[in-house]
């Protein structure tokens, strides 16, 4: 049972154990609700039965029933206490652990995974899906299993008491279950479609918020609004259709269950007339038939919610089962040379991005990756930091295979400045300190000064303590890029990876940054990706990548003399400037 729960609901072993405990306590609580009914029938049998038939004697006093009632109430309170703890408190703990586990899974996925996935979709899975699962496991799943087990237990007891009337009560149950079962595939398909439609609408809204400037700049507000309205209308129609059909199936099941009470009335009347049962037994089964179907109908409602739950659990399983990157956390290379040896890589099957790529970026040298857009420069640079795992070949750092090193351990050796800068809605000081969490204020300010940030930071309202808004919205593109460079300088790692690091800077600031970078890169391995040739003019080695292959390799002077791709790019940019 525990293994089933773990696999079915993507739970930990402890979570599965807690769920089983919750089900058991809910069953006990459901049965405890029957105790006052049994006690009441016993009282009626002793007292009302005596008045009606004069065939039994009073065996218990009123005080006895008062004491027993009080005792049963206390027992029910104790049971409710344990049931609440198992069904809510422990389930919430498992939900917290699931969120943490999901976050840990995301930590171990290749960094490039986040470039291909919608971040809003991932955050929705962690927060919204996890919240829905938490609510269903605390309010629905234990009650579903408990209702089923309780009904079976009560049914067996009733069949032993009087099988004819019990059959009249329960013949409708398998019929109603069969009708509900016929709807399960439809419900599952409908939930999947609605789930995807809802995610699609969320993505459209997120995209609209991210692209608000472009939408307004190109007068596309009406088009965007109509597109969102159309998506919402389609979602609403699908939702109404699904609810109507689901309601029809569930109500049809309810209708069959309601036939149980007339069955008991007719069968009981027949047996009473034949003398097979007495009035008291007949009344007992009428009362039971009036109440026994409530937990079954609740089980149907809960089972519908369980189908909805499956959609969200499958989504979490999909993320949890993705291949993780691992490796040793002990890594001390002899040097920081990066070597590519016949490396092949593709983002998807059948589409080769890099083919037989071999080059070496030596420590103490600047290696520039240049070439036409889409040739594979950025891919090669990110592969050196193990953003992905390669398909074929070998990438080493200091002679060590990086595929055997834990990505987090490997990245301790890299300072990376991306073309697309990401900043946080925090102070300038905190954003730069991201490069070295225990850096002092003076260290942060020194890095900012070297990255040519100090001048514009001093003009901010609170200086280094100014909050810069979401993704640095209060700063210009060049200022944001310089903050990113300051981070890299503060980290001071032995390997520097610069992906169009000065693309958003004017010529004057680029020259200043180049001077600062010249201090940063001493005795380090530097990989630069750039399109502007003046950025790589001082590189020790140029690697020209075109169509995923190495087209040329050499010093800037050597490649100029060859009159190949690099020389052509130099000439084109020179003519564009002139």
End position of a domain, from candidates 286, 320, 354: 320
- Rounded Cα gap, residues 520 and 501, in angstroms: 14
**What's the pLDDT score for residue 352?**
80
Backbone angles phi, psi at 540, to 5 degrees: -80, -30
219 in the same domain as 100: yes
Cα 497 to the chain's mean position, in Å?
30
363 in the same domain as 292: no
347 in the same domain as 316: no
- Rounded Cα gap, residues 392 and 221, in angstroms: 47
Please give the residue range of the domain that contains residue 30: 2-320
Count of H helices and E strands in the chain?
A: 26, 10
**What's the pLDDT score for residue 326?**
82
219 in the same domain as 359: no
Partners of 369 in beta bridges: 529, 543
405 in the same domain as 315: no
- Domain assignment present for 241: yes
406 in the same domain as 297: no
Q: For the chain, 578 residues long, give each residue's pLDDT as a single digit of tens.
A: 777 776 767 677 777 787 888 888 888 887 787 777 667 767 766 665 544 444 444 556 777 778 888 888 888 888 888 888 777 777 777 777 777 777 777 777 776 666 655 566 666 666 677 777 777 777 777 777 787 788 788 788 888 888 888 888 888 888 888 887 777 777 777 777 777 777 778 778 877 877 887 888 888 888 888 888 888 888 888 788 777 777 777 788 888 888 888 888 898 888 888 888 887 778 778 877 877 777 777 777 766 666 666 777 777 777 777 777 888 888 888 889 999 999 999 887 767 889 999 999 999 888 999 888 888 888 899 899 998 888 899 999 998 999 999 988 999 999 888 877 888 888 999 999 988 888 999 999 998 888 888 888 988 999 999 998 877 888 887 788 888 888 988 998 999 998 876 665 666 666 666 766 676 677 789 898 877 776 777 788 999 998 889 999 998 888 888 888 888 887 776 665 55
350 in the same domain as 249: no
Q: How far is CA 186 from CA 180, 194, 249, 313, 372, in A?
A: 10, 12, 10, 18, 51
- Domain assignment present for 330: no
How much is the pTM?
0.65
End position of a domain, from candidates 320, 352, 381: 320
418 in the same domain as 269: no
385 in the same domain as 272: no
Domain count for the chain, please give it: 2
472 in the same domain as 431: yes
Are 402 and 350 in contact by the 8 Å Cβ rule? The answer is no
144 in the same domain as 87: yes
**Tokens (6 digits) for 419:** 């073309």
SS3 369: strand
End position of a domain, from candidates 287, 320, 353: 320
- Rounded Cα gap, residues 358 and 324, in angstroms: 26
- Rounded Cα gap, residues 58 and 65, in angstroms: 12
CATH number at 101 reads 1.20.1560.10
């Amino acid at each position: 049972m525990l293994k089933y729960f773990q696999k079915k609901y993507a739970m930990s072993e402890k979570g599965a154990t807690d769920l089983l405990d919750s089900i058991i306590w809910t069953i006990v609580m459901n049965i405890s609700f029957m105790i006052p009914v049994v006690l009441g029938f016993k009282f009626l049998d002793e007292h009302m039965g005596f008045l009606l038939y004069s065939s039994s004697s009073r065996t218990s006093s009123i005080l006895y029933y008062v004491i027993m009632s009080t005792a049963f109430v206390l027992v029910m309170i104790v049971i409710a206490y344990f049931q609440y703890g198992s069904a809510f408190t422990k389930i919430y703990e498992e939900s917290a652990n699931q969120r943490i586990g999901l976050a840990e899974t995301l930590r171990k996925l290749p960094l490039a995974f986040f470039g291909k996935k919608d971040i809003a979709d991932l955050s929705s899975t962690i927060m919204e899906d996890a919240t829905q699962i938490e609510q269903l496991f605390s309010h629905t799943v234990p009650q579903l299993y408990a209702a089923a087990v309780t009904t079976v237990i009560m049914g067996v007891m009733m069949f032993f008491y009087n099988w004819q009337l019990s059959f009249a009560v329960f013949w409708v149950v398998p019929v109603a279950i069969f009708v509900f079962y016929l709807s399960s595939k439809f419900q599952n398909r409908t939930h999947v479609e609605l789930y995807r439609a809802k995610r699609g609408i969320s993505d459209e809204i997120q995209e609209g918020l991210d692209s608000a400037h472009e939408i307004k700049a190109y007068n596309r507000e009406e088009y965007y609004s109509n597109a969102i309205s159309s998506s919402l209308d389609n979602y609403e129609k699908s939702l109404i259709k699904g609810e109507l059909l689901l309601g029809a199936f569930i109500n049809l099941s309810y209708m069959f269950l309601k036939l149980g009470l007339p069955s008991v009335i007719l069968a009981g009347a027949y047996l009473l007339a034949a003398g097979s049962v007495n009035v008291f037994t007949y009344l007992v089964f009428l009362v039971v038939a009036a109440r026994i179907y409530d937990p079954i109908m609740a089980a149907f409602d809960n089972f519908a919610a369980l189908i909805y739950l499956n959609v969200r659990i499958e989504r979490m399983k999909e993320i949890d089962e993705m291949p993780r990157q691992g490796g040793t956390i002990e890594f001390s290379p002899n040097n920081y040379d990066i070597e590519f040896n016949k490396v092949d890589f593709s983002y998807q099957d059948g589409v080769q991005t890099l083919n037989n790529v071999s080059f070496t970026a030596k420590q103490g040298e600047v290696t520039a990756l240049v070439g036409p857009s889409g040739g594979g420069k950025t891919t090669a640079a990110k592969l050196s930091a193990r953003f992905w795992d390669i398909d074929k070949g070998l990438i080493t750092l200091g002679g060590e295979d990086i595929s055997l090193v834990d990505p987090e351990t490997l990245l301790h050796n890299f300072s990376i400045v991306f073309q697309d800068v990401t900043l946080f809605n925090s102070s300038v000081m905190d954003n730069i300190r991201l490069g070295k969490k225990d850096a002092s204020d003076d260290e942060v300010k020194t890095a900012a000064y070297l990255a040519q940030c100090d001048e514009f930071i001093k003009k901010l309202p609170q200086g280094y303590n100014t909050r810069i808004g979401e993704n640095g919205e209060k700063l210009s593109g060049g200022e944001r890029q310089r903050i990113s460079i300051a981070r890299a300088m503060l980290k001071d790692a032995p390997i520097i990876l610069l992906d169009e690091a000065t693309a958003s800077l004017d010529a004057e600031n680029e020259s200043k940054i180049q001077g600062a970078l010249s201090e940063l890169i001493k005795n380090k391995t530097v990989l630069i990706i750039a399109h502007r040739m003046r950025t790589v003019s001082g590189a020790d080695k140029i690697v020209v990548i075109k169509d995923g292959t190495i087209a040329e390799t050499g010093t800037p002077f050597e490649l100029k003399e060859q009159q190949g791709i690099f020389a052509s790019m130099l000439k084109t940019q020179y003519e564009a400037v002139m």
